[in-house]
Amino acid sequence: MIVAQQKPLEEIIGMLIPYDRILILGCGTCVTVCNVGGEREVSLLHSSLRLAQSRGLAQGKVFSEYTVKRQCDKEFLAILEEKAREQDAVLSLACGVGVQVVADYLPDLAVLPGVNTVFMGAFSEAGTWDERCAACGDCRLAATAGVCPITRCSKGILNGPCGGAKNGKCEADRSQDCAWILIYRRLEAKGELDRMRRYYPPRNFRTTSRPRRIQGR
């Protein structure tokens, strides 16, 4: 799941300075689950902005709010055409993908990011998500017993462990488990330690072609 964090209110207010009529637009999928951009968060941000107005900030702004099912899918954006006629800008609480899709769909409006897209993560406990995937485009989880060394190793090492781990913890962050020790233990339990003998050449991320595209069959 894509995980995001709301931008500081001061930064949001700064982005809104050139505009008078702003639609705060939520997204009903990932950012709703991580409590950043669903209907509830749209309403809370709206209230925070109105409170800021009572303190002399964001004066003269008129805010409205709406939430679509998915901002990253144009199928759900048709309803925005009518709403957009009355707006100068859209403050999107979706991930970076959603912001860009809405900006493409409403090219005559300023579409502003209200959140920072952080990573793709897994639910850990109430209000907590842990990074698990960097979308590197070369998944090797089959060889590493389902533990991603790109995201779960602080150094992103493909052939580990590095030798700096102590008591199963990473030398760069003692609060984190060493990803390669986790990989070793899982492979050992499965009788598949031979997988660790394979060498993977370092990845050169600079050669990655951007932007990427996947076409369905």
Q: How confident is the model at residue 177 (pLDDT cuts 50, 70, 90)?
A: very high
Percent of all residues in the chain with a pLDDT value above 70, rounded to a whole number: 94
In contact, 177 and 169? CB cutoff 8 Å: yes
Residue ranges per domain, the chain?
A: 2-119, 136-204
Q: 120 to each of 30, 59, 135, 184, how far by Cα in Å?
A: 10, 36, 8, 24
pLDDT in tens, 10-60: 999 999 999 999 999 999 999 999 999 999 999 999 999 999 999 999 999
Share in percent of the chain as helix, strand, coil (round to 5): 30, 20, 45
Contact residues for 113 (Cβ-Cβ < 8 A; gap 6+): 7, 92, 96, 99
Smallest Cα–Cα separation from 58: which of 115, 110, 19, 26? 19
Q: Compute the mean pLDDT over every residue in the chain, rounded to the nearest whole number.
A: 90
Highest mean pLDDT among 22-31, 135-144, 184-193: 22-31
Smallest Cα–Cα separation from 11: which of 106, 112, 127? 112
Percent of all residues in the chain with a pLDDT value above 90, rounded to a whole number: 62
CA atoms within 13 A on the CB side of 26: 24
- C-alpha torsion 16→112→12→118, nearest 10: -170
Strand order in the sheet with 110-113: 62-68, 21-27, 89-92, 110-113
**CATH 1.10.3470.10 applies to domain 2-119:** no
